[in-house]
Amino acid sequence: MQSCCVSHPVTSTMSHTPVEVCDSYKAKECSQKGLESIAPLIHSVEETPDPISTEVQGTIPVWISGKLLRNGPGKFEFGNTRFNHWFDGMAMLHQFKIESGQVTYMSRFLQSDAYKKNSERDRIVMSEFGTLAMPDPCKNFFQRFLSRFEMMEPTDNASVSFVKYKGDYFVSTETNYIHRVNPENLQTLEKVDWSKFIAVNGATAHPHYDPDGTAYNMGNSYGNKGALYNIICVPPERKDTKDTLQGAKVLCSISPTSKSHPSYYHSFGMSENYVVFIEQPIKMDLLKIITCKLRGKALSEGIYWDPQQETVFHLIDKRTGLVSPVKYHAKALSTFHQINAFEEDGLLMLDMCCCDDGDAINNYLIQNLRKSGEALDEVYNSVSRVFPRRFVLPLNISMETPTGQNLNTRTCSQATCVKTSRERVFCQHEDLHGDDLCEYGGLEFPQINYGRCNTKPYRYFYGCGFRHLVGDSLLKMDLQDKTFKVWEQKGSFPSEPAFVPSPDAVEEDDGVILSVVLTPSQDKATFLLVLDAKTFEELGRAYVPVNLPYGFHGTFATSS
């Protein structure tokens, strides 16, 4: 097996070079030439509704008992109509069941209204993020013209992740629709509308959880006076009700800097006592979005990057729902995924995967992902790299707090936070890596030992290296000395890692990492990879005799 695990020493972590210079250097040094085609990873595949056996090589620990559930796009055309954006593909749900050292695989398409309507008519009839459905060609000209004035129906194509509310598993995207699914057989059970329970028009696919099962999320609402950001709280499982989201409430609402141009967000941060919302300069032009059908444009045309705007961190007290009047500012950045957040010594540490522009969301057109040769290199080199960063937010700001000096009292940290006025603090990040991470194209899809470390001080996080438009290596980052370990295999593309703790775990990294690895140059060469999370050495792999597309997110469901 042509794979390897490499340990990298810390490099230049104490450099005082200005961050802007370092980031420019990294972007230049991370360019690539001669990228392998990944087109087979962005093609439609058939579902595998009945469990099939896999061929295990090496050893899969017998203590692993459960299901790795994965979600992502799996169908990109209907008839002679094709989706334009990677995010538009129809949701395909995957299950890797691990028991007694053996693995079975199955998959099903989510039976969303979007999938069923498109299938029935064998053409795209439901608009998605980057694809505007064309009017029915069977209608006359006048009917097709009038259809442009109809409101666009939000998609229920929940293709982003698996989430959990009240003990039930759901699949989610970013609209107001989620679907309850059966993790045992991946059958679609129920379509659920967030707006039937609380006044929101959607929620993220990345909720956070308290130890008791209480879930927190975010969703926008739109009214005559513009948009609001809403923090959502869903109570833990209760035996006296079977209603899916019954009891959900809006913890608080936050007004955008511009109500007609609110920020796009994919996730948020959470510490023990606070929800942290990152209002970033990726903006949504609501007028363009509302009129996209009339103008014959996809919804994605209404999202843009405004580098003139600063990033603003909003703190919300989870217990009271009160929004801190102090706003924490940083230079323009974009973020899709947070790593962790925790409080210590009157400070809140917020760790995120960030880059210095927000154009990436519009670069993932299917036509770009299917390019090859120099054209593919050009696409990759136009996309900014994502790196892990830490922001430090001082919690106890008062009239007596001095201005103009660094309030970060942690001598081991290079992050700065300076009060500039009564209710404004400007924050400069600390890199959570050395320059050697650039060799692996930065890091995305971050994961931690969530059950043990979420909202607490921690040492390790895991993710994918991106020397390509999709992950092409697995990384284990050590915050103690900013070193990292790597698993890589030439021509292989691992997905988001999932950490599974061992039953007798003592250390934070006692457990395994699971990742679905795709090999586009070979037919039916997908495998589930199992790594020792401590050493990052390969323990075993389970080969799946079918082709899979590259997916987004998932979760590990432990067998009861």
Q: What is the pLDDT along the chain (560 residues), one digit of tens a residue?
A: 445 666 554 333 233 333 343 444 445 457 888 999 999 999 999 999 999 999 999 999 999 999 999 999 999 999 999 999 999 999 999 999 999 999 999 999 999 999 999 999 999 999 999 999 975 655 654 444 444 445 568 999 999 999 999 999 999 999 999 999 999 999 999 999 999 999 999 999 999 999 999 999 999 998 877 799 999 999 997 666 567 899 999 999 999 999 899 999 999 999 999 999 999 999 999 999 888 888 889 999 999 999 999 999 999 999 999 999 999 999 999 999 999 999 999 999 999 999 999 887 878 999 999 999 999 999 999 999 999 999 999 999 999 999 999 999 998 889 999 999 999 999 999 999 999 999 999 999 999 999 999 999 999 999 999 999 999 999 999 999 999 999 999 999 999 999 999 999 999 999 999 999 999 999 989 999 999 999 999 999 999 999 999 999 999 999 86
Distance in angstroms (rounded) separating the CA atoms of residues 132 and 145: 15
Q: Is 293 left (phi over 0), alpha (psi -120 to 50) or beta?
A: alpha
Q: Which residues pair with 120 in a beta bridge?
A: none
Separation in Å, CA 319 to CA 175, 271, 371: 27, 12, 50
Residue 259: DSSP 8-state: T
Distance in angstroms (rounded) separating the CA atoms of residues 424 and 405: 13
Given 3-state DSSP classes, what are the helix, strand and coil percentages for the chain, each rounded to the nearest 5? 15, 40, 45
Task: Classify the C-alpha dihedral 327-340-354-267 as positive or negative.
Answer: negative
- Identify which of 502, 452, 517 has the alpha carbon closest to the alpha carbon of residue 60: 502
Distance in angstroms (rounded) separating the CA atoms of residues 29 and 228: 40
Buried b (16+ CB within 10 A) or exposed e, 315-328: bbebeeeebbebbb
Report the pLDDT value the prediction gives residue 530, as an integer from 0 to 100: 98
CA neighbours within 13 Å on the CB side: how many for 115? Answer: 20
Place of tokens 């959880």: 209
Two tokens, residue 91: 């949701």
On whether the CB atoms of residues 473 and 491 are closer than 8 A, the answer is no
Distance in angstroms (rounded) separating the CA atoms of residues 464 and 476: 9
Separation in Å, CA 165 to CA 250, 300, 488, 512, 539: 15, 29, 35, 25, 33
On whether the CB atoms of residues 431 and 22 are closer than 8 A, the answer is yes
Three-state SS string across 501-515, please? ECCCCCCCCCEEEEE
pTM of the entire predicted model: 0.92
With a CB cutoff of 8 Å and minimum separation 6, the contacts of 460 are 448, 449, 476, 477, 478, 479, 508, 509, 533
End-to-end Cα distance, the chain: 34
Distance in angstroms (rounded) separating the CA atoms of residues 499 and 448: 7
On whether the CB atoms of residues 487 and 3 are closer than 8 A, the answer is yes
> How many H helices and E strands in the chain?
8, 38
Distance in angstroms (rounded) separating the CA atoms of residues 549 and 526: 10
Two tokens, residue 107: 């998959």
**CA 429 distance to own-chain centroid:** 21
With a CB cutoff of 8 Å and minimum separation 6, the contacts of 376 are 35, 37, 469
On whether the CB atoms of residues 17 and 524 are closer than 8 A, the answer is no
CA neighbours within 13 Å on the CB side: how many for 467? Answer: 22
- Identify which of 139, 137, 142 has the alpha carbon closest to the alpha carbon of residue 123: 137
Two tokens, residue 193: 């509308």
Report the pLDDT value the prediction gives residue 17, as an integer from 0 to 100: 33
On whether the CB atoms of residues 437 and 353 are closer than 8 A, the answer is no
Q: In this structure, which amino acid lies at residue 296?
A: G
Strand, coil or helix: 432: coil
CA neighbours within 13 Å on the CB side: how many for 417? Answer: 27
Distance in angstroms (rounded) separating the CA atoms of residues 356 and 420: 23
Report the pLDDT value the prediction gives residue 8, as an integer from 0 to 100: 57
- Identify which of 488, 261, 236, 455 has the alpha carbon closest to the alpha carbon of residue 351: 455
